[in-house]
Amino acid sequence: MCYKPINRKTSSIAIDTCERIILPNQQVIELEEYSPPTNGREGMLRLDFNENTTGCSPKVVQALKTIDANKLSVYPEYGAFLSKLSKFQKVRVEELVLTNGTDEAINIILNAFVESGDEVIIPTPTFAMFKFFATIAGAKTRQVLYNKDLSFPFELVMSAISEKTKIVVLVNPNNPTGTVIPEEQIVKIVEKAKENGAIVLIDEAYYEFYGKTSLWLIGKYNNLFITRTFSKAYGLAGLRIGYIMGDERIIASIKKSISPYSVNALATICASAALDDFEFVEEYVKEVINNRVKVAGEIEKLGVKTCPSSANFVLCYFGEKCQAVCAGLKKKGILVRNRTNDPLLKGCVRIGVGTKEQNEQLMLALKEVLIEIEKKVIE
């Protein structure tokens, strides 16, 4: 592939050469770009990325104000925070590793265990970064569709696991559906994966809003990773801090593979302060859970179907009105996420659950938008 540089007016020398453009590997060439709409969100009611809609604990802000220059001029130390986090999660330090958000956790697990041509099973629809990083790692992604009612496709996943399988991805609760995987099904999947020499990666990014975890399985199975994040319930999405938990032998493999300073010092200081104020997180989570039921009920009253959710969002089916609803809400200062391009989710919008006041603002705007859409249809 060649190109011919354009002559610059500032130069008297005309360049007329044909240069070869260096291409990336085939996996990157074939990769679909992941470009979430992250710009222009300031000042809006942000119900599109499942963030904490009230912000982080005041103790986090106070911790930031007390940081001195020395904390910024040296490489981060993780020992004290790892000790605190391990006690909080009731795991040993050897069973824990910090990551630069869940994205790095997913990336490093796939790169550490997947070789070119290995198979990664991804129940779909789900978080796009699993397929993204699996593809870059050179894996063959086997996407198993959720059931039509968006419940977990247990039998299909079980039948898909074979000697070709290297990693099975489970997201519990799932994003963007909000649906969950029963504990007994998780156990059977972990056991079958172990029989076939495969790893199970369980993403528990929305654990706080669900309240159930597979963490107890770490003591029984050495082929299991569980990832968590401070981005959602804790309100620290901007700091990019997450972590992986698992048997110390496979965690040791991750520690060998990861950058020694991928998590910055500010992130650990703030996450530590957030753990000190867990009551703040508990109160926020309690409010979201209560409001989740109310929001889903109010939306159902408008004749819009919703999917049962155990996360901090509700998936809603607007059908052909999907795009107009998203655009209409944006004009009124409210951002939601159009999921219509995801498998099984044509006509669906994911709406984050906020505080009582935020939800009232959402419902008022949504009713107005639906009325405006109906008027245009009649005209």
d(CA 359, CA 43): 16
CA–CA distances in Å: residue 249 to residues 120, 205, 224, 225, 254: 21, 23, 11, 11, 9
d(CA 157, CA 161): 7
d(CA 32, CA 61): 37
**Topology (CATH) of 29-52+279-378:** Aspartate Aminotransferase, domain 1 (3.90.1150)
d(CA 336, CA 330): 8
Q: What is the mean pLDDT of residues 230-255?
A: 97
Predicted TM-score of the model (pTM): 0.90
Q: What is the mean pLDDT of residues 301-309?
A: 97
d(CA 289, CA 244): 25
Among the listed residues 212, 242, 245, the one whose alpha carbon sits nearest the alpha carbon of residue 230: 242
Express as a percent the part of the chain with pLDDT over 70: 92
Q: For position 43, what pLDDT does the model report? A: 82
Q: DSSP character for 146?
A: P
Q: Tell me the CATH number of domain 58-277, given options 3.40.50.450, 3.40.50.1400, 3.40.640.10, 3.30.450.80.
A: 3.40.640.10
Joined together, the tokens standing for residue 332 give 């009124």
- Residues forming beta bridges with residue 97, ordered by sequence position: 244
Distance of CA 141 to the CA centre of its chain: 18
Q: DSSP character for 219?
A: G
Please state the domain extents for the chain.
29-52+279-378, 58-277
Say which residue the tokens 């508990």 belong to: 282
d(CA 249, CA 252): 5
pLDDT in tens, 103-132: 999 999 999 999 999 999 999 999 999 999
